[in-house]
Homo-oligomer: A and B are copies of this chain.
């Protein structure tokens, strides 16, 4: 953790959506592009920094899924678990960028190998928490996620994205 030098271990940007669609596999000469889609819920863009470890994940997931960021039909602010809404997780290394002159640098971003592992664990933990909450509420919600390292071709339809920044 000392590597981080006081900065955050992870940065997330959260946007509310009515529908979101993300490419998980680009087209190639043998097959068409593949997409995942959620309806009402929340898009989580996530980036891990150097020094981030699995230790931060339980608190991070619990915070993100329990924060009252979503507007219910009655206009009350509730969490995505309470809505209940679906979640689309988008790996977004650009969030770790720092401007140097006119260029963006990503020197503080985690390595690809560690990032891939943490991202996988983050997605699995979100799935676990959201599925448990949905089962106990008797509703159907899903967790979808982008492919780490790919271009994140995204389409977003919102009734107000209510963009939030959360760092851990």
Contacts and interface: CB of A to CB of B under 8 A. Distances in A.
Interface in A110-156: 151-156
Contacts of A164: 94-95, 97, 104
A72 interface: no
B153 A158 contact: yes
Contacts of A30: none
A27 interface: no
Interface residues of A, number: 34
A14 B155 CA distance: 15
A13 B156 contact: no
A68 B97 CA distance: 11
Instruction: Indicate how many identical chains form the complex.
Output: 2
Contacts of A94: 162-164
A79 interface: yes
A165 interface: yes
Interface in A77-131: 77, 79, 92, 94-95, 97, 99, 102-104
Given A99-B63, A164-B94, A165-B11, A155 B156 contact: yes
A79 to B, nearest CB: 7
Interface of A: 11, 13, 45, 63, 66-69, 77, 79, 92, 94-95, 97, 99, 102-104, 151-166
